[in-house]
Amino acid sequence: MSMTITEKIIARHADKASVRPGEKVWVDVDVLMTHDVCGPGTVGIFKEQFGPDAKVWNRDRVVVIPDHFIFTADAKAQRNIDILREFVAEQDLPHYYDPDFIPAGGCKGIPPAYDDPRTTPYAGVCHAALHEKGHVRPGELLIGTDSHTCTAGALGMFASGMGNTDAAFILGTGKTWLMVPETLKFVFHGTMPPYLMAKDLILHVIGEIGFDRATYRAMEFAGEALMSLNIDERCTLPNMAIEAGGKNGIIATDELTCEYVRQRTDKPFETVASDPDADVALLMEFQTDQLEPVVACPHAPDNRRPARELGDVRVDRCYIGSCTGGQITDMQAAAEVLKDREVKIETFVVPGSTEIDAQMDTVTVGDRSVRQVLQDAGCRIGPSSCMACLGGPRDTFGRANEPINVVSATNRNFPGRMGHKEAGVFLASPLTVAATAAAGEIVDPRDWIDLDKPVGLR
Ligand code: SF4
């Protein structure tokens, strides 16, 4: 029976030859990820339901990545990390990335100056760290206590976010149940123009289908334009599947995927692809070079407008960071725009992971590092973390503490998302955000880049 990639992975983990959309099955979970916001609640339920001395089902399959509220003096945020630390010690979990291993000066509160976290096990945002540290493997099944866990689908994995109760059950049993989602397929034909980024593609998709059309459905992304992107950029599409309600986002593997994974883990994996005649509930195709840079205006990710139409919007801040806009390709794209310019709007830059943070010193634009270019342009660069993507405590770097307008390379723009509930968040690609910072108003990046040159590391 023909199946999609999502159906095949679920069938394999349910120990069945095939599954159909709507069917409810128990599946074995390969990896459970949690972080500092939901981890303490998950641990509490686990202990309540399985007993104070219970052990997790498999130490090697639990990954704990504090990343959200790290660089803050907030006592409750720090207490959350302490709870995780105690649980990790008690259970002797090997995959834990402790933020306290950052050198003095870079740990509590907003660092007065950038401090190098690369000598530490701290990893940065979970959805970047998961694949960088080899926890994402094609054909496997990942559950995380975070809605953007779907990011890992970029490497051909079934990955989905769940709440603390489901996660606690997985901690105790290694199992969860799923209703098999029907698949919506999005195909990007042609070539990727240098002025578009993956963020533009997914904002087009969500703008077309609306923020709830994919509710409890798989969003499968394909096409030669998409597969021409590096792993960084591919991650942006499954990452934002949840912004349309998706259960998971997924991209089939190719040699680039397999090579990326092999460089990060020696664990075996088995790739999966959709059958060409597999049923899908929706097929939407795009001629990629006909698309233009877009912005999702407040307060919904489907509120799509062409960037060139938004010049009259007041812009108070620009922000480049998060698990979807803080990859090294995003940083390099921003640096290409800003290499001989200064920002006219205050601009915060936050690398998505400590690995990306380190790459900002080694990847160059012209004869300067990406970090140097962004600093010379007047950007403020913070240490890797979720930072203002989720608002966070009031002392969070880049947080919108006033009702300002922020043009941001992040992924969600509901009221209050970046701090103040009356702040407006305009979602855009890092190219559009950087061009906006340079122009002092929202602009189409086509006028601000070399159109003969590919974006970043593409
Ligand atoms: S960077 Fe933003 S979207 Fe990503 S995990 Fe952190 S808060 Fe969530």
- State residue 455's pLDDT score: 77
- State residue 103's pLDDT score: 40
State which of 269, 291, 313 marks the end of a domain: 291
pLDDT digits (tens, 9 = 90+) for 35-66: 999 999 999 999 999 999 999 999 999 999 99
User: Could you tell me the two tokens for 112?
Assistant: 């007065």
Q: Are residues 303 and 273 in the same domain?
A: no
Contact 427/203 with Cβ under 8 angstroms? yes
Rounded to two decimals, the pTM is 0.95
Where the chain has pLDDT below 70, the residues are 101-120
Contact 214/383 with Cβ under 8 angstroms? no
- State residue 118's pLDDT score: 33
3-state secondary structure of 85: helix
CA 434 – CA 379 distance, rounded (Å):
10
Decide whether any atom of ligand 1 lies within 6 Å of the 146 Cβ.
yes
User: Could you tell me the two tokens for 256?
Assistant: 């680039």
- State residue 102's pLDDT score: 57
First to last CA, the chain: 37
Quote the number of domains for the chain.
Answer: 2
Q: Are residues 231 and 277 in the same domain?
A: yes
Measured in Å, residue 77 CA sits from the centre of ligand 1 at 15
452 belongs to a structural domain = no
Task: Please give the torsion angle defined by the CA atoms of residues 264, 270, 275 and 278, in that order, rounded to the nearest 10 degrees.
Answer: -80
Q: Are residues 332 and 423 in the same domain?
A: yes
Q: Are residues 28 and 152 in the same domain?
A: yes
453 belongs to a structural domain = no
CA 105 – CA 111 distance, rounded (Å):
6
Query: Which residue type does 270 have?
Result: E
Residue with the smallest CA separation from ligand 1 atom 2 is 389
3-state secondary structure of 250: strand
Q: Are residues 238 and 302 in the same domain?
A: no
Q: Are residues 287 and 298 in the same domain?
A: no
What b/e string do you get for 439-458 counting C-beta neighbours within 10 Å, with b at 16 or more?
A: bebbbbbbebbeeeeebbbb
User: Could you tell me the two tokens for 95?
Assistant: 């995959």
Q: Are residues 260 and 384 in the same domain?
A: no
Q: Are residues 248 and 374 in the same domain?
A: no
Contacts of 362 (CB under 8 A, 6+ apart): 369
Residue with the smallest CA separation from ligand 1 atom 4 is 323
Sign of CA dihedral 409, 415, 419, 422: positive
Q: Are residues 216 and 331 in the same domain?
A: no
Q: At what angle do helices 39-50 and 75-91 cross, to 10 degrees?
A: 50
State which of 291, 318, 334 marks the end of a domain: 291
36 belongs to a structural domain = yes
379 belongs to a structural domain = yes
Measured in Å, residue 51 CA sits from the centre of ligand 1 at 31
Decide whether any atom of ligand 1 lies within 6 Å of the 236 Cβ.
no
Q: Are residues 132 and 204 in the same domain?
A: yes
State which of 263, 291, 319 marks the end of a domain: 291
Decide whether any atom of ligand 1 lies within 6 Å of the 64 Cβ.
no
44 belongs to a structural domain = yes
325 belongs to a structural domain = yes
**Nearest alpha-carbon partner for 170 in 133, 210, 142, 129:** 142
Q: Are residues 256 and 346 in the same domain?
A: no
162 belongs to a structural domain = yes
- State residue 101's pLDDT score: 67
Ligand 1: residue of 36, 127, 235, 319 to mutate (most ligand atoms within 8 A of CB) is 127
Measured in Å, residue 389 CA sits from the centre of ligand 1 at 6
Q: Which atom of ligand 1 is nearest to the CA of 35?
A: 5
Q: Are residues 349 and 222 in the same domain?
A: no
CA 337 – CA 449 distance, rounded (Å):
6
CA 180 – CA 195 distance, rounded (Å):
37
DSSP structural state of residue 139: T
113 belongs to a structural domain = yes
Measured in Å, residue 400 CA sits from the centre of ligand 1 at 16
Domain housing 319: 294-447
CATH of the domain at 418: 3.30.499.10
